Amino acid sequence: MSETTTERPVRVVLADDQPLVRTALRMVIGDTADLVVVGEAADGAEAVRVAAETGADVVVIDLRMPGTDGIEATRLITEGPTGARVVVLTTFDDDDHVYGALHAGASGFLVKDMALDDILAAVRVVAAGDALIAPGVTRRLIKEFTDRPRTAPAVPRRRAEGITDREREVLTLVGRGLSNTEVAAELHISVATAKTYVTRLLAKLNARDRVQLVIIAYEAGLVSAH
């Protein structure tokens, strides 16, 4: 089936206190037909305001910015009326910040030294309603969950109830950071079937996206420290 023209391109806001980072992303996005930069911000408060004013679909945000930090900005953006999704740009020494942003509602976690094309691909994934966590960030998030359970932000612990044994298997693999393709290979099922299981889990567990499934998997004790 050939692709049809989308109704409109995905509206993206770039939030980073480094103009060079914003310029690089803007230039690359400018070469795409399905993404458009509708605003920029140099701090968290401005990111929240610009996201609301532009009706952004996705906000690409650095966690370390002056004033309102990226975590609070992420919370305000994801809880805002536009329902914008947030892709966090991080570095490997930002573990605590990434953990906080996860609970604040971010749908994507990328490392700043990733290829620009990979960052664009992540924006598309998040805009489509899925979530993406760079493998290196996933490993660090797993370490956060397993090493610091008592110091985690105060959120109600959830239990994975009302799901089938197979769905529990899928949830466990998602909690380990596996993609749909990897889940399919692990369970010897098709990718389409794996995606169906994930969709069912999102509905049954009232999870916003794949990132929240990771949280639930850990809080339900399905993934433990090695």
What percent of the chain is modeled with pLDDT above 70?
Answer: 78
Question: Which residue type is seen at 27?
Answer: M
Least confident of 38-47, 146-155, 166-175: 146-155
Both tokens of 131, joined, read 């979530």
Alpha helices in 55-187 (DSSP H): 70-78, 95-104, 116-127, 135-147, 165-175, 180-187
Read off the pTM: 0.68
Is residue 226's pLDDT more than 80?
A: no
Q: What is the DSSP letter of 41?
A: E
> What are the structural domains, with CATH classification, of the chain?
10-145 (3.40.50.2300), 156-219 (1.10.10.10)
Closest C-alpha to 13, from 44, 33, 34, 41: 41
pLDDT digits 0-9 by tens, 121-152? 888 888 877 666 665 555 555 555 555 544 44
From residue 206, give the alpha-carbon distance in Å to each of 55, 112, 199, 213: 25, 31, 10, 9
Tokens 């809080």 belong to 219
Tokens 């994801």 belong to 78
42 or 69: which carries more pLDDT confidence?
42
The pLDDT of residue 133 is 66
